[in-house]
Chain A
């Protein structure tokens, strides 16, 4: 086992409220465009709450992706298939390459969007009628396998589920497997569609903003939920060289730590985020001042942004690097967010444009002004990408420019 093995990123796929694919997402970043609008597809009575929906219905998605059967009814799966296919194509992986590839998906909602449609019938029958089969799809693992089966044969498949850091943790497991020499290639990331279940769940916590969210604004009111999927292709140096591919970036460090404070609230001192960021910096052998941009978790809740900033200040003091949260563009894509923001980080590294924290009028505090307009910034080498989940599941990925 060579734990100094570098882990390269050789492909990426993404779909979110900003649209489908890397190119569309890249344009949205340079335009500072938001995909957050009023509810169009989700079956909810709370039409007043803005959301970051992918602007395709299940019918449109399944027609575009040519997905049939049960998979065509599960939005989580459809979004995953869209992003996974793009990732495979962008890394130029063949069907036989996939047979030596692991697929690690992060999701929490799973097939809940399907289960909840049938749940009344299941409940009314006491679980004794055939609609009960639908509960099978309320399983994170099933949606992962359904996504995989639309794309190819994989050597190994599993699913991480740590709420809003699921996608980041899937990427961490993939990198660990490559470093340990278990496998040379892993596709990892996350997918999450909106479901009535978690949309209402977040509403009960009273952390949804009735207007467009404003991460890192002094008067921020909460989250706009979003949906989407993103995956990256991770490869060992050996596999990169064997295939002769040029990496999009390096996963140079990562950290997973627990805030161990509260099930849904975050600590005042940001111990969990502080430890996840410092662990990642140590692993990447980077000094704090070598970080050019922080892609913050920045959900827009008073609690999260305060905690995250407290942790950032413990590391960078008053000399914060450029930072912003893209959640005012995509909405909070929960389990997919770590992966979506990793793909956005790759775009930022390669295009040199930092996305804005939209909606910020007054900064969260004096001297902590996020980037508020798309910012042309040459020479970005290292990006810190934070994902924090319920239960204090805090993870940080560091995405760096590749030298090969």
Chain B
């Protein structure tokens, strides 16, 4: 049993620039009812011919994956694990629209072939010729924690020494509208991609932080959540508070009963809401530990306590009326 899991590199595609990390200090606030991605410069990794055959989510996922692998210096990971809430929804929507318009004849096979949730992991594997462990989780707002838990298990048991972990969701104009009805606890429906490389070996100059634990609790009691938060020893809570009372009520039930020594951070007011946005929260948390500072924009709750150098962060992620994800990350301790 390997004793630690390390984050080596991360890449993201969101409403922020994917080419640099200036968003961590000064994010751009995107206006509008939905939050949409800035398309990355994919040319370095994806040829125009390939690009034409791919939907938005596949391009972004492949870009984020290849870009984080490049940063990590690991060419071919032992495992590829993906989380996605809606999967390849653009292609699914197009296939459904074609059924409306053309009936059950003359439908396009490519749309169907690239509609399943696992298309993302397999497009990456095909590109890398990676025969290793390959899995996809699709469970609403805890798709990321589900994939992370699997990655963590693969690394801790030594079945894989390196994992490419990603979490990806896209919206279309139609889905952006639909989500106001179908997901009323979201604030602004959005989309994003995040990919990172995790290893079970410390790599000097590369390891950024540790992933100490990943837990998913289905409909836990407030008492259980408070106990788990206290047991984690973390005083910095990076939460999925989004400004929508339907969503935030559950957080407040827990946070209001914690002592005053906690610092509560948030990120969804910048990145919007999507099933994959907890993966961006993870990115934010890793950057806080790497840089040793908490950017002002994440700290909307007003200071309860100053932390000179943030060392441990608990990522708290509530999936409306259902699960809580709890991920502890911390600074390197060797």
Q: List the interface of chain A (C-beta within 8 A of B).
A: 1, 3, 44-46, 108, 110, 115-116, 119-120, 122-123, 126-128, 130, 132-136, 138-142, 144-145, 148, 153-163, 169, 172-173, 176-177, 179-180, 182, 196-198, 200-206, 256-264, 271-272, 275, 389-393
Contacts and interface: CB of A to CB of B under 8 A. Distances in A.
Interface string B61-103: 0000000000000000000100001110000100111011001
B181 A130 contact: yes
A340 to B, nearest CB: 19
B294 to A, nearest CB: 30
Contacts of A135: 175, 178-179, 181-182
Nearest to B139: A141
Interface stretch (B109-117, B190-198, B233-241, B253-261): B109-117
B175 A127 contact: yes
Contacts of A108: 116-118
8 contacts: A127-B174, A158-B146, A160-B136, A176-B150, A179-B157, A205-B113, A259-B131, A275-B131
Contact of A263 (B108, B113, B177): B113
Nearest to A112: B92
Contacts of A120: 100
Interface of B: 1, 80, 85-87, 92, 95-97, 99-100, 103-104, 107-109, 112-119, 121-123, 125-126, 128-140, 142-143, 146, 149-150, 153-154, 156-158, 173-183, 216-219, 322-323
Contacts, number: 222
Contacts of A123: 96-97, 100, 174
Given A3-B157, A126-B177, A132-B177, A272 B119 contact: no
A264 B113 contact: yes
A263 B129 CA distance: 12
A258 B122 contact: yes
Given A161-B138, A180-B156, A393-B118, A197 B95 contact: yes
A45 B133 CA distance: 39
Contacts of B123: 263, 391
Given A162-B135, A258-B133, 11 more contacts: A3-B158, A115-B96, A116-B99, A135-B175, A139-B138, A200-B112, A204-B107, A204-B109, A260-B131, A393-B118, A393-B134
A135 B92 CA distance: 12
Given A260-B130, A391-B122, A161 B104 contact: no
B103 A141 contact: no
Contacts of B140: 139, 141-142
Given A177-B153, A180-B153, A263 B134 contact: no
A364 B135 CA distance: 31
Nearest to B174: A127
Nearest to B109: A204
Given A145-B322, A391-B122, A393-B118, A258 B130 contact: yes
A44 B104 contact: yes
B118 A390 contact: yes
B308 to A, nearest CB: 34
Given A3-B1, A119-B96, A260-B129, A139 B85 contact: yes
B130 A141 contact: no
A159 B139 contact: yes
B1 A390 contact: no
B174 A257 contact: no
A259 B175 CA distance: 32
A392 B122 contact: yes
Contacts of A392: 122, 125-126, 134
B80 A157 contact: no
A144 B115 contact: no
A251 to B, nearest CB: 15
A172 B85 CA distance: 21
Given A260-B129, A391-B119, A200 B100 contact: no
B87 A258 contact: no
Q: Which of B86, B95, B142, B181 has the most A CB atoms < 10 Å from its CB? A: B181
A343 B83 CA distance: 27
Q: What 6 A-B pairs are tightest by C-beta distance, nearest first?
A: A391-B122, A127-B177, A201-B112, A141-B139, A136-B182, A141-B140
Contacts of A264: 113
Nearest to A140: B138
A169 B178 contact: no
